[in-house]
Structures are given as structure tokens and as C-alpha cells.
């Protein structure tokens, strides 16, 4: 069985004023429409909050050192990269040190088709007596044109996951312009990561949404 789309996200690492990135601000500057109801959930054990709406599968995770915009719908429009780009265009002088576009696929362990990385996880790891394997990871990072592409296969007892990340370091940038440019690559990066996962791990992908497995 082919791997099914699980989620995708655009993540910016930097220094954020979480008191600006609020539902009211997002709607007032036109990043989010005013119609849908938005909910805000806070974690009292750490600074930051989660923004979501029952009318969309987009979820925002706002923290002082990180802004992540995530979706479980491969056809979401506007996509997380478009939304991230709009935020960073408005917050032009926000210090951003890295930006990554990410995509994740999964399939149940019982339905997965054999592939080299899975066989490597199964055959090269020696489990000591008295222990059981909970998760086995195989990861590779490729570099191309100033960006790192990290590909990971993770085999658990019930689910096998494939995760891909296209990341660019932005520590030497005076403003958010390069971060905006890379956020706008979200769709093309998602396609490229899928191609790399197929080429590197020798698997099949399906962009249909994964069921709960």
C-alpha cells in the first residue's frame, strides 16, 4: 500500500512577539478572513498558544521562538507557506534564523510495502535482551543550492512514517525577505520532497489523506 499524506507545515524559527500574532491582528491585516470563528488555546505551563477554526484544517502554533502553520489537508488554500509569507511580510524586521517547509506521510505497519530503509531498520539493529523496539529511525540530509533537505523513515510497531523537510538558514539576513521567498516555495517544496522520498527510500506515495491507523 502506498504512503498516504498525513500533514504539512511551514515553520519559522526566530524571535516573535506573540502578543502581535493574535486572531484579531491576523484578521485585521487580511491574513485570515473575518468570517470563520477562531479559537485560541493556551498552554499555561509555557508561553504561546494554538489558533484554529472549525471551518479549516489549518492550525497555528505561536511561540516566542517559533511560528508553525500546519494543515492536514493537501488541498488547503491558502496553504501554510502563503500564510507564513503574509505574516513575515507584515513583520518585516522580525529576526528569523531558519525557515522550513515540511511534509509527512504514513501507512500502517501491516499494510506497508517492503522498502530498503525499512529492511535496514529491521535487520541492522540488535535489540538487547529484555527490551523491545518502539521506534526505529533512518535519516539522511541532502544539500542543494544553499538548502538542506532532511528525509526520515520512522518505523513503529503500528505505523511507518516518512517525513521530509526543506530548510534554509537565515541567520545572516537583515530582514524577512528571504524567509518570505522560501515560505512561498511551499507547494514546490512539497512536490520536491515527495520526489526525494520516492527516489531515496524507494517507496510509493499517495497524496490522499491518511486515515487513522
- pLDDT tens digits for 55-101? 888 999 999 999 999 999 999 889 999 999 999 999 999 999 999 99
- pLDDT tens digits for 182-205? 999 999 999 999 999 999 999 999
Provide the residue ranges of all domains of the chain, joining segments of one domain with +. Answer: 3-209
pTM of the model: 0.92
Q: Measured between alpha carbons, how far is 117 from 77 in angstroms, rounded to an integer?
A: 33
Assess whether pLDDT exceeds 70 at residue 211.
Answer: no
Beta bridge partners of 159: 108
- pLDDT tens digits for 21-57? 999 999 999 999 887 788 889 887 889 999 998 888 8
Angle CA 185–203–132, to nearest 5: 110
Assess whether pLDDT exceeds 80 at residue 8.
Answer: yes
What's the gap between Cα 193 and its chain centre?
Answer: 11
Given a contact cutoff of 8 angstroms between Cβ atoms, the answer to whether 137 and 154 are in contact is yes
Amino acid at each position: 500500500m502506498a504512503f498516504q499524506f498525513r500533514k504539512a507545515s511551514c515553520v519559522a524559527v526566530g524571535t516573535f512577539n506573540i502578543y502581535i500574532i493574535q486572531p484579531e491582528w491576523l484578521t485585521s491585516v487580511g491574513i485570515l478572513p473575518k468570517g470563520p470563528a477562531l479559537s485560541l488555546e493556551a498552554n499555561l505551563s509555557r508561553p504561546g498558544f494554538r489558533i484554529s477554526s472549525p471551518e479549516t484544517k489549518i492550525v497555528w502554533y505561536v511561540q516566542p521562538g517559533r511560528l508553525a502553520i500546519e494543515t492536514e489537508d493537501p488541498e488547503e488554500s491558502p496553504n501554510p507557506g502563503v500564510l507564513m509569507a503574509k505574516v513575515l511580510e507584515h513583520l518585516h524586521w522580525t529576526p528569523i534564523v531558519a525557515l522550513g517547509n515540511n511534509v509527512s506521510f504514513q501507512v500502517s505497519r501491516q499494510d506497508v510495502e517492503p522498502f530498503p530503509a525499512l529492511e535496514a531498520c529491521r535487520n541492522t539493529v540488535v535489540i538487547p535482551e529484555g527490551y523491545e523496539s518502539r521506534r526505529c529511525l533512518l535519516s539522511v540530509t541532502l544539500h542543494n543550492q544553499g538548502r538542506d533537505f532532511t528525509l526520515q523513515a520512522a518505523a513503529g510497531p503500528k505505523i511507518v512514517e516518512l517525513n521530509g523537510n526543506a530548510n534554509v538558514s537565515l541567520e545572516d539576513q537583515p530582514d524577512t525577505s528571504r524567509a518570505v521567498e522560501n515560505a512561498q516555495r511551499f507547494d514546490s517544496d512539497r512536490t520536491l520532497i515527495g520526489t526525494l522520498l520516492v527516489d531515496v527510500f524507494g517507496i510509493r506515495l499517495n497524496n490522499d489523506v491518511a486515515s487513522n491507523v
